[in-house]
Amino acid sequence: MGRRKKIVQECEELMDEPEQIRNIAIAAHVDHGKTTLTDNLLAGAGMIADADEATQLVMDTEEDEQERGITIDAANVSMTHEYEEENHLINLIDTPGHVDFGGDVTRAMRAVDGALVVVDAVEGAMPQTETVVRQALREGVKPALFINKVDRLISELQEGPEEMQQRLQDVIGDVNELIRGMTEEMDDITEDWTVSVEEGTVGFGSALYKWGVSLPSMQRTGMSFADIIELEQDHKRQELHERTPLSNVVLDMVAEHFPNPSRRSRSVSRVSGAATTSPRSPRTCGRSTARATSSSWRPTSGWTPTPVRS
């Protein structure tokens, strides 16, 4: 059996296993790196070539998207990912970031159970960040956070470990303030959906240079922000990618923290009405692998999280 046929067969087999399915959307302010992040996930799944930089933007298939350098139409893709020795089917929708195409974001949120919100580490939460968070919460979709372009803090702003951690905590606090403010207005969301470094629902990294970290991944690999700064300053980005690949960090977070279609609480009534989510036939499918995380790891000295919940 050829490789392509094998991975498609894996996707089809997992479609009958709801507990192993994650239906997710990636959403962000324009140019914060959603589609570049998606390239990383596709490369990690073996669906596209793993180039030195993630600049292929394969989800922007239309000519006008390529000319303008922005995502206009939501695009979906399916891939598999091994987490804790179990294979998962990830159905992903890459959504537009420009405010003019917000309708596609709302439609995408009605088809998924989790939203990965991407925020530029330098710019922080922007107006469209607030919009996509609100769209996700209104549709009863649980958020997680990936702070992108952390390499800019090192190469452009030349920040040290303490400055970086404070800036990242500020971004997390801003996003959680949005989530708290919105969920307080929604009687049908009773759980705490704020994101947390300690709980593993926040990731950091560079989609362009294909590296990423979270607290679980740093505990597993022993990586610290000091290590990241040193490798980034020495332009050893390929080594950084090999030691802590972005696709593993993000897809582990998706598999661990986003609900599957059968587990998700249907007590959350969507504003648009009752909705059922079923996996779609994969347009494209690939496979990625990662080592399982463990709650027994001890934090490294490279990250001393400060609680951001009030």
Quote the DSSP letter at residue 223: -
Q: What is the pLDDT of residue 98?
A: 53
Inform me whether the pLDDT recorded for 91 exceeds 80: yes
Confidence of residue 178 (pLDDT cuts 50, 70, 90): very high
How does pLDDT run across 284-308, given as a tens digit for each residue? 565 454 433 333 222 333 444 333 3
Question: Which ranges constitute the DSSP H helices of the chain?
Answer: 3-14, 34-44, 63-68, 102-109, 127-138, 150-155, 161-183, 215-221, 225-233, 237-243, 246-257
Confidence of residue 169 (pLDDT cuts 50, 70, 90): very high
Q: What is the pLDDT of residue 292?
A: 33
Integer Cα distance of 142 and 163 in angstroms: 29
Confidence of residue 105 (pLDDT cuts 50, 70, 90): confident
Strand partners, 90: 22, 79
Percentage of the chain beyond pLDDT 70 is 72
Residue entry with tokens 């991975």: 7
Inform me whether the pLDDT recorded for 264 exceeds 70: no
Q: What is the pLDDT of residue 278?
A: 39
Q: What is the pLDDT of residue 277?
A: 39
Better-scored residue on pLDDT, 122 or 189: 122
Better-scored residue on pLDDT, 270 or 172: 172
Integer Cα distance of 59 and 61 in angstroms: 6
Percentage of the chain beyond pLDDT 90 is 54
- Please count the CA atoms within 13 angstroms of the CA of 266 that sit on its side-chain side: 8
Kindly state the average pLDDT of the residues 213-235.
93
Kindly state the average pLDDT of the residues 203-230.
94
Kindly state the average pLDDT of the residues 252-280.
63
Integer Cα distance of 101 and 62 in angstroms: 15
Integer Cα distance of 256 and 90 in angstroms: 12
pTM of the model: 0.79
Q: What is the pLDDT of residue 192?
A: 93
- Please count the CA atoms within 13 angstroms of the CA of 199 that sit on its side-chain side: 17
- Please count the CA atoms within 13 angstroms of the CA of 191 that sit on its side-chain side: 13
Integer Cα distance of 53 and 63 in angstroms: 22
Burial class (CB in 10 A: 0-12, 13-18, 19+), 170: middle
Integer Cα distance of 105 and 95 in angstroms: 6
Give the range among 41-50, 89-98, 166-175, 257-266 with minimum mean pLDDT.
41-50
Whole-angstrom CA distances from 202 to 79, 126, 173, 190, 254 are 22, 18, 11, 21, 11
Q: What is the pLDDT of residue 100?
A: 52
